[in-house]
Amino acid sequence: MNIIVCMKQVVDLQQVRIKRDTRQPVLEGLPLQLGDMDKNALEEAVKIKEKHGAKVTVLSVGSIKLKETVLQALAMGADDATIVVDAVCDGSDPAPTALALGAAVKKIGLPDLILLGEGSTDNYSGQVCSRVAEILGLPQITYVRELSLDSGTVTAVRDMENALDVVKAKLPVVISVTSEINKPRRPPLTQILRASRKPLNTWALTDLGLSPDTVGSASSSVQVISNLAPEQERKGVIFEGDVIQAVGNIVDALRKEGAIA
Amino acid sequence: MSRGILVFSEQDEGNYELLTKASEFTSQLGEVYALVLGQKEQVTIQSLVQYGAKRILTVPGVDPNTLDAESIAFVLSEIAKNSGPDILLIRSSRLGKEIAGRVAQKLGAGCVTDAISLEIKGPDLVAQRYTLGGNTISSEVIMTTKKVISVMPRSFEARPGQSAGAAEVKELAIPSPRVEMVERRKKTSESNNVESADNLICVGQGISRKEDLVIINEFCVALHAELGCTRPLAADFHWVSEERMVGISGKKCKPKLHVSIGVSGQIQHTVGIMNSKVIVAINKDKDAPIFKIADYGIVGDLYQVVPEFTRRIKAART
C-alpha cells in the first residue's frame, strides 16, 4: 500500500510582527516549519504503515528551503520525500499548489491514499484537498478525525458542525484530517539523524510536464490587493496592582458604556 | 458584465443571508440563482424568492444528507458552466468550503474561501478574508471569469423583500455520490449560542484545574454570558466541550461584551473574538498579547479577579 502525504512549509505565526505605521506583516527571516495539521496527516500515515504496512511518501511544493524543512517529516517516519521547487509556486496560492501537487502525484504514481491537513496553518483556505481530488478524479473525504482501513475500503468519521458523519469509500481516495485525529510524535534524536539519509527527490515544474506559464496563470487567478493587520481601536486601559479596585473601575466603565445593564 | 450569481447553502438561513447580499449586486452582477437539494415545500421555494432568488434550480428526489461534496460540486458546475452564472456564493460551512474548492477546480475558477465581507469597488468584486493565521486581513479579487467565493456564516444579515414576483423553477439531476454516508451521529453535547451571544466569556490555560471552572460558570450566570474556550481546554484537556472552542478552527464570535480569562492571546484564538465590541482581559502576565487587543485589562490572579467580578455584577443587578 502506498500513501502520499501532502505537506506545506509555513512561517512560525507566533513570530509574525506587524509594522506599526503601515500595518503590514513582516515575514522575512522567520523560521519555517511544517503545518500543524499536515503533521497530523503524516502521523496518521505512519500509524497506518505501522499497522498495515505501507510506504509513506511526503510531497511538498515551495521554496528551496523545503530541503531542510522536510527533514522533520522524514524523521517522523516518512520513507521518502519529493519536493517541487519553483519560484512560481513559492507563494501560498491554493490553485497553483494543487496543480503542482496533482502533477507530482501522477508522476510518482497514483497511491492508495492521499492525506493532507484540513487547512494550512497560515492561509487555511481548505481548497487544496478538493482541488487535488478533482485534478486526479478521485473522491474526497474532509475533516476526518477517525480513520480505518479494511480490504480496499476506507471508513472515516468526519467532524461536521453539529454531527459526526461516518462515511465509506473505495480506495484510492483523498483525505483531509483535523488535529483531533492523533497527536503527532516527536521523533527521537536517532531518527532525526537518520532523516538526512532517506531519499529526497527535488523536481522542478518542467519535470512534471507543467510549464511555468500554466502554473503562473493559475497563480494569478486570485489577486491580493492588500494584506494588512486589522485596525484595532481598542482603549487599552490596563490596571495593575489592586485588583478589587480595578474590577470596580471596569464594572463602572462598562456600565457607563452600556456594555452591562 | 457578470452573467449572474449562484447561491448555495445546505441550510435555509444560509441561503437567505447570501441571497440578501447577492440581491444588492444585481444591477452590476446580474440575476440571482439558487440551488435547492431534495424535496422542498412550496413555502421554502417561496421564501427563496422573497430573499431575492430569480431562478431556482431544484434537485428533487434525493436525500441531501446522503450527497457528498463531489456530487454537489458537479451540479453547481453544470449550472455555472458556459453561459451560466459567473459568480458562486457558497456558505462556508465545512461542507460548503469543501464544495467550493472542488467546483472551482471544475470550472477553472479562482476561489476565495471564508470571506468575511464582499464589496464592489470599481470593476472589481473584492472579498476579504483572514490570512496568516488571523494576523492579517487580505482583500482579494478573483481574476478568472468564473469566480467561487465561500462566505463565513452570519457575515450578512438576511432581509426578506428583496424581490417581488415569481421565479423560474427548473429541475436538475445529480450523480450518485462515491462517498457513501453510513451514519450521522448527532453531537451529544448540548447546543450552545457561543457564536450569537451578546456576552461571551472565554477561558484559557490560566485556569489550573477542571474543578475551578465553577468560578467561571458562576461568572457566566451572573453576566448572562455564554462560555467559550481556547483550543487546548477543549481539544487537549477535554475540560470544555469542543463546540465551545473559539478561534480559527472553532467558533467566530461578535459579542457586544467579551471577557477573556487566563487566555494568553495567541492569534489562532483571538481571530475568533476580534470583532467583539468591548474586550475585557484578565491575565496574570502583564506581557500577555491579549492585553494588546483589550479595551480594559486587569493584570492579576484570575482566582481573585473573577469572583470579585461576579460579586460586583450580581450587586449591580439587585
pLDDT of residue A126: 95
pLDDT of residue B189: 61
| Chain B residue nearest residue A127, CA to CA | B101
Does residue B176 lie within any of the structural domains? no
- Do B148 and B13 belong to one domain? yes
Q: What is the mean pLDDT of residues B301-307?
A: 96
| Chain B residue nearest residue A155, CA to CA | B182
Does residue A239 lie within any of the structural domains? no
Does residue B182 lie within any of the structural domains? no
Alpha-carbon distance of A257 to B251, in angstroms, equals: 26
- CB of B278 less than 8 A from some CB of A: yes
Angle A227-B271-A145 from CA coordinates, rounded to 5°: 110
Does residue A8 lie within any of the structural domains? yes
- Do B84 and B167 belong to one domain? yes
Please name the member of B177, B180, B295 whose beta carbon is closest to the beta carbon of A235. Answer: B295
- CB of A223 less than 8 A from some CB of B: yes
What is the count of structural domains for chain A?
1
Quote the longest CA-to-CA distance of chain B: 65
Mean pLDDT of chain B: 93
- Do B12 and B73 belong to one domain? yes
- CB of A203 less than 8 A from some CB of B: no
**SS3 of A3, please?**
strand
Q: What is the mean pLDDT of residues B3-11?
A: 96
What is the count of structural domains for chain B?
2
- CB of B166 less than 8 A from some CB of A: no
Give chain B positions within 8 Å (CB) of A226: 138-139
- Do B219 and B275 belong to one domain? yes
Least Cα separation, residue A157 to chain B (angstroms):
9
Q: What is the mean pLDDT of residues B113-127?
A: 96
Instruction: State the residue range of the domain holding B289.
Output: 199-317
Does residue A254 lie within any of the structural domains? no
Q: What is the mean pLDDT of residues B196-205?
A: 95
- Do B113 and B165 belong to one domain? yes
Mutation target vs A (from B81, B88, B105, B137; most A CBs, 10 A cutoff) = B105
Residues 6+ apart with CB under 8 A from B237: B210
Query: For residues B302, B306, B308 and B313, what is the CA-based torsion angle, rounded to 10 degrees?
Result: 160
Lowest average pLDDT, out of A90-104, B156-170, B292-306, goes to B156-170
Q: What is the mean pLDDT of residues B194-222?
A: 95
Q: What is the mean pLDDT of residues A160-184?
A: 94
- CB of A151 less than 8 A from some CB of B: no
* Domain boundary, last residue among B171, B189, B212: B171
Does residue B247 lie within any of the structural domains? yes
- Stated length of chain B: 318
Please name the member of B100, B141, B249 whose beta carbon is closest to the beta carbon of A225. Answer: B141
pLDDT exceeds cutoff 90 at B166? no
Q: Which amino acid is at B65?
A: N
Does residue B190 lie within any of the structural domains? no
Query: Are B178 and A221 an interchain contact pair (Cβ–Cβ within 8 Å)?
Result: no
Q: In chain B, positions 43-62, which contact chain A (CB-CB < 8 Å)?
A: none
pLDDT exceeds cutoff 90 at B316? no
pLDDT exceeds cutoff 80 at A92? no
Does residue A237 lie within any of the structural domains? no
- Do B147 and B278 belong to one domain? no
Does residue B67 lie within any of the structural domains? yes
CATH number, position B270: 3.40.50.1220
Q: What is the mean pLDDT of residues B195-213?
A: 95
Give chain A positions within 8 Å (CB) of B180: 167-169
Instruction: Give the helix/strand (H/E) hosting B285.
Output: none
Mutation target vs A (from B91, B103, B111, B186; most A CBs, 10 A cutoff) = B111
Helices and strands (H, E) in chain B, number of each type: 9, 16
Mean pLDDT of chain A: 93
Pairs of residues, one from chain A and one from chain B, whose beta carbons lie less than 8 Å apart: 253
pLDDT of residue B188: 67
Does residue A246 lie within any of the structural domains? no
Query: Is the Cβ–Cβ distance between B173 and B59 less than 8 Å?
Result: yes
Does residue A258 lie within any of the structural domains? no
Q: What is the mean pLDDT of residues A58-75?
A: 96
Does residue A173 lie within any of the structural domains? yes
Quick one: cell of B97?
A: 468550503
pLDDT exceeds cutoff 80 at A50? yes
- Do B106 and B209 belong to one domain? no
- Do B214 and B279 belong to one domain? yes
| Chain B residue nearest residue A24, CA to CA | B136
Report yes or no for ipTM above 0.90.
yes
Mutation target vs B (from A10, A125, A129; most B CBs, 10 A cutoff) = A125
Query: Is the Cβ–Cβ distance between A113 and A44 less than 8 Å?
Result: no
Q: What is the mean pLDDT of residues A19-42?
A: 93
* Rg over CA atoms, chain B: 22
- Do B165 and B250 belong to one domain? no
Does residue B59 lie within any of the structural domains? yes
Does residue B253 lie within any of the structural domains? yes
Mutation target vs A (from B81, B86, B304, B312; most A CBs, 10 A cutoff) = B312
Query: Are B309 and A251 an interchain contact pair (Cβ–Cβ within 8 Å)?
Result: yes
Please name the member of A130, A229, A254 whose beta carbon is closest to the beta carbon of B257. Answer: A254
Q: What is the mean pLDDT of residues B32-47?
A: 89
Please report which confidence band the pLDDT of residue B243 belongs to, taking 50, 70 and 90 as the band edges: confident
pTM of the shown model = 0.89
Quick one: cell of A88?
A: 512560481
Give chain A positions within 8 Å (CB) of B274: 230
Does residue A259 lie within any of the structural domains? no
Instruction: State the residue range of the domain holding A43.
Output: 2-219
Please report which confidence band the pLDDT of residue A67 belongs to, taking 50, 70 and 90 as the band edges: very high
Give chain B positions within 8 Å (CB) of A124: 114, 130-131, 133, 248
Does residue B181 lie within any of the structural domains? no
Query: Are A221 and B144 an interchain contact pair (Cβ–Cβ within 8 Å)?
Result: yes
% of chain A at pLDDT higher than 90? 81
CATH number, position A19: 3.40.50.620
- CB of A139 less than 8 A from some CB of B: yes
pLDDT of residue B163: 66
Q: Which residues sit opposite B135 in a β-bridge?
A: none
CATH number, position B123: 3.40.50.620
- Do B64 and B147 belong to one domain? yes
- Do B93 and B157 belong to one domain? yes
- Do B309 and B203 belong to one domain? yes
